[in-house]
Amino acid sequence: MIAEGNIILDTVQINQKIRRIAYQIYESNSSEKEVIIAGVIGNGYVFAEKLVEILNEISTLKLTICKVTINKKKPLEPITTSLNVADYKNKSLVLVDDVLNSGTTLIYGVKHFLDVPLKRFKTAVLVNRNHKKYPVKADFKGISLSTSIKEHVQIDFLENDSIAYLA
């Protein structure tokens, strides 16, 4: 059981943040025919699926979800995606992860997609931690937090409940 004081976002708040980010993505891409939502494997992909679900409700955009596999412990290893390069070339793409921590995962993810000509490229995170190792920012974020380097933000996406907390 998680102590009450450690909870950052509860299920209702997480759902509100996801809906707001979905609207921001739609506004930013309203003139596009298709948008690729690329979720980093794990919670980033779960977050991406939730964004796509809401975007399908609120927009007429053609949405394609893409799974991005990054070894978070060894980010220099080759990054793979569930789509071929031709599937996202010259399209609008949003790279999605759950927590922007040190910036390592996002910066290597950005680097991977920079090798392909994209029409528009944005990033989205549910929780943005304000101390980073790399100069990377999230274009769309649910919440920004100032935490100590020793604190760890954990997000649990469960069937009907979601929670973000400090561990």
Contact 48, 96 (CB under 8 A): yes
Q: What confidence tens digit (pLDDT) does each residue in 9-47 have?
A: 999 999 999 999 999 999 999 999 999 999 999 999 999
Q: How confident is the model at residue 84 (pLDDT cuts 50, 70, 90)?
A: very high
pTM: 0.91
pLDDT, averaged across the chain: 90
Domain count, the chain: 1
Q: What is the pLDDT of residue 137?
A: 87
Tell me, yes or no, whether 2 lies in a domain. no
Q: List the structure tokens of 161.
A: 């409940």
Q: What range defines the domain where residue 50 resides?
A: 7-166
Q: Of 117-121, 153-157, 158-162, which one has max mean pLDDT?
A: 117-121
**What gap in Å lies between CA 144 and CA 132, rounded to an integer?**
12
**Domain CATH code at residue 15:** 3.40.50.2020
**What gap in Å lies between CA 14 and CA 161, rounded to an integer?**
9
Q: Tokens 């991005």 label which residue?
A: 68
Tell me, yes or no, whether 119 lies in a domain. yes
Q: What is the pLDDT of residue 136?
A: 83
30 burial level (CB within 10 Å; 0-12, 13-18, 19+): exposed
Q: What confidence tens digit (pLDDT) does each residue in 96-132 have?
A: 999 988 888 888 898 899 889 999 999 999 999 877 7
Among 135, 132, 125, CA closest to 149: 132
Tell me, yes or no, whether 1 lies in a domain. no
